[in-house]
Amino acid sequence: MYVTKLIDGHITVKEATLCLEFSERQILKLKKWVLNEGPAFLTHKNKGRKPAQQETTYLPTKNQD
């Protein structure tokens, strides 16, 4: 993870911007959030849930006569 490498001093902000294709400002915000909240902050908050806009699809049932 590039943000933790940045925090540990293994890479620079410039290197992180090139790897992640984010601006320096975004990288610094990510670094600040990870320092305050921990690495779990970067996981998607909707992980494991169905998307809100997902339409329900019904499978056709066999006609049992």
Render pLDDT for 16-57 as a digit per residue (tens, 0 to 9): 999 999 999 999 998 998 888 887 766 666 667 777 777 767
List for the chain the helix, strand, coil content (%; round to 5).
50, 0, 50
Q: Is the pLDDT of residue 13 over 80?
A: yes
What is the reported pTM? 0.59
Asked if residue 2 lies in contact with residue 26, where contact means CB atoms within 8 angstroms, the answer is: no
